[in-house]
Structure formats: C-alpha cells, structure tokens
Amino acid sequence: MNKSASILIIYTGGTIGMIHDKNSNSLKPVDFQRIKDLIPELQKFDYHLSTHCFDTPVDSSNMNPDLWIETVKIIEKNYNEYDGFVILHGTDTMAYTASALSFLLENINKPVILTGSQLPLESLRTDAKENLITAIEIAAAKQNNQSIVTEVCIYFEYQLYRGNRTHKFSAEDFEAFRSVNYPILAEAGVDIRFNHSVIQKQSTNAFKVYNKLDNNIAILKLFPGFTEQYVSAILNIRGLKAVIIETYGAGNAPVDLCFLSILETAIQKGIIILNITQCNGGSVEHGKYETSAMLERIGIISGKDMTLESAVAKLMFLLGNYADVTEIKNMLQTSLRGELS
Ligand code: ASP
C-alpha cells in the first residue's frame, strides 16, 4: 500500500450526500463540504485527498450522457496527477454510469471506483462511511508500485465489482448490487482480499478518452401479449439507430411472423437490433431454441451475457464513435472492456 497515494474524489450527488429537506419532505443533494464534515475520519488518511464537486450535485436519476462526458473529462484532465479516482454517485443509475465510463476510458491503468450509499451520511446506521473509506483504500492500493485495480469498478457493501457487469439489485438492502455473470474483484474483511486473476491486466497501450455518445437507441421489452403497434411504435422512432430487444431466458422471442417481419424491415433499414436477456444471470444463446434461431436468421445480434446497463452504454459508445454498421455489429459481440464472456 502506497501511503502517499493521491486520490481525486469526484462528487456527483446521490443519497450519500443528501439531507432531508423539511420543505419538500424529501432527500436532496448537498455540497461536498457537508460530506467532509460528516466523515472526520477522512482526515486520518495519509493519502492526499482532493475533491471535485459537480456544480449541481444530482440525484442519479438525473444522470445523462452529457454528465458522463463531463465526468470523463474531469478524469482526463487529472489523470497524470492522481493515482486513483473515487466517484460518489447515487445508486439508482450507478451501474449505467460505471458501464459508460468503462467504454469511454480506454486502457486505463488506474482505478476508477464508484460508490455511494443506501442511507444518507447523516443517518445513524449509514453505510456511506464504510463504502467511501474502503473505496479510497482500493483506489490507493498498489503492488510493485502499480495500481492493483486498473479498471472502472463499483465498490459497495464489502465487495468490489467490475462496473460494467453490475446491476442494481435491491432498493433497500445494503447489498444493493450484484454481478451475476462475473466474479467479485475484491472482498473487504479485516483485509481487502483482491482476486487478482479476474482483474483487468495493466495495458501497455496509451490511455485514450472518448467524448462522444449517441443516445438514438431504444429498449423493446417483450412480455406475453405485446402488440404489433407496440413493436412498430418503437421501431419507427425518428432517428433511431439501434434497439435492445429484451427477450426471455436464453434470448427467446415468440415465433410470430408479423413481429419478425417488423424487426427484419428495421434491420434492412440499417437499425441494429441487439438481443439481451431479461434474466439477471446467464447468456443469450442464439439457436439453442427455435425461438431464438429465427432472431439470428433475420440479423439480430446476440448480446451474450452483457447486462442491460452495459448494452445501453456500449451502444451509445459505439454509435457515437464508429460509423460503419458492420464494424459496430462486430464490436458488439467482442469484449471491449471485459463486459461480456
Ligand atoms: N435516488 C438516489 C440516487 O440514485 C438513490 C441513491 O443514491 O441510493 O441518487
């Protein structure tokens, strides 16, 4: 552990820094000074801790691609000066943000650890202190003078996850996140035990930051009884470039000729359709059942075991930075940042 590590804490908002507003009787974000006052322990670290606060901290339901780009720009500007980055973020969309940052930051050789809390800092039983303190420890952790974690992660309730593999699983348990399709990168007990074999290896290629995202995408969630109008309305959205079709089980959809023909027409018009399962664990396997074989036949791309959050971020990233549809389709099926097996 490097005692003099420099860590930049980026405060975007979220419950961790919220206080109860008497007028509206709801939780609202406050500025970071309040967080520092509520966690005097931060002064005990030997690390150099600096902070960057969003001008207007947000509830993470207000997160959007512009704020993701703002966040990567902060990291880019400070990349050489700091050993690691801790991002304080609301839990609601944290898995989306972690996924988006993982694509926007290529060959990152430093830790970017997102964390937050289920209870505000000022609450007596808050989970915020442990989450923040351990996230800082992980961001500072080094071995042979190199960061142990070299990817975008979420640290929450004693576990470190690959960010683009996570999903917010519970709105009330302290263990809010799950990474069903990828092992935990580290566990915090008395010591922080890193699972070195599953953490991204240091990259020898140059660090690169992307600053474009294209949100002309939609999600088509299947449910028994969906109508033709429902499918048509989504696939005919003006400017649409890609659709995530959220299918059943191993990537299955009804064998309905009308439905298939709407999808096929969209694909022929150049719209990318990506198949993601509604299940939290497991993978799309085109061809395992007849009900997915025909999806592959008409040109739907398998999202394999990607999370929905990762698929959303990956599509926005690829559409924003690449023009060729065939190239985008190939990249969708390739692991770019460890997001699929
Ligand atoms: N609504 C809050 C947010 O996502 C919830 C949280 O932080 O846990 O910003």
60 lines ligand 1 (CB under 6 A): yes
Atom of ligand 1 nearest to the CA of 29: 9
Q: Which of 46-55, 114-123, 240-249 has the highest mean pLDDT?
A: 240-249
CA 172 / ligand 1 centre spacing (Å): 11
Residues labelled as active-site residues? 15
Residue 79 has pLDDT above 90, yes or no: yes
In the chain, what are the domains? 6-209 (3.40.50.1170), 217-332 (3.40.50.40)
Residue 139 has pLDDT above 60, yes or no: yes
- What is the mean predicted confidence (pLDDT) over 59-64? 96
- What is the mean predicted confidence (pLDDT) over 166-182? 96
- pLDDT at residue 3 in the model: 56
- What is the mean predicted confidence (pLDDT) over 86-111? 97
Question: Edge to edge, what strands does the sheet with 272-277 contain?
Answer: 217-221, 242-247, 272-277, 301-302
Residue 228 has pLDDT above 60, yes or no: yes
- pLDDT at residue 35 in the model: 74
Residue 31 has pLDDT above 90, yes or no: no
- 177 near 168, Cβ under 8 Å? yes
CA 182 / ligand 1 centre spacing (Å): 24
- pLDDT at residue 82 in the model: 98
- pLDDT at residue 224 in the model: 98
State if pTM tops 0.75.
Answer: yes
- pLDDT at residue 184 in the model: 98
Predicted confidence band of residue 306 (pLDDT cuts 50, 70, 90): very high
- What is the mean predicted confidence (pLDDT) over 277-292? 93
- pLDDT at residue 212 in the model: 98
Q: In the chain, what percentage of residues exceed pLDDT 90?
A: 85
**Least confidently predicted of 151-160, 180-189, 255-264, 287-296:** 287-296
- What is the mean predicted confidence (pLDDT) over 127-138? 96
Largest distance between two CA atoms of the chain? 65
Residue 338 has pLDDT above 90, yes or no: yes
Structure-block tokens of residue 61: 């339901």
Among 12, 15, 87, the mutation site with the greatest number of ligand 1 atoms within 8 A of its Cβ is 15
Residue 216 has pLDDT above 70, yes or no: yes
**What is the DSSP pairing of strand 146-147 with strand 142-143?**
antiparallel
Whole-number Cα distances in Å, 232 to 215, 236, 248, 275, 308: 19, 6, 19, 17, 21
CA 326 / ligand 1 centre spacing (Å): 37
- pLDDT at residue 263 in the model: 98
3-class DSSP state of 243: strand
Residue 1 has pLDDT above 60, yes or no: no
Which of 185, 183, 192 has its CA nearest to residue 133?
Answer: 192
- 126 near 120, Cβ under 8 Å? yes
CA 17 / ligand 1 centre spacing (Å): 10
Residue 191 has pLDDT above 90, yes or no: yes
90 lines ligand 1 (CB under 6 A): yes
- 114 near 163, Cβ under 8 Å? yes
Q: Give the residue, by CA position, lying nearest to ligand 1 atom 1.
A: 59
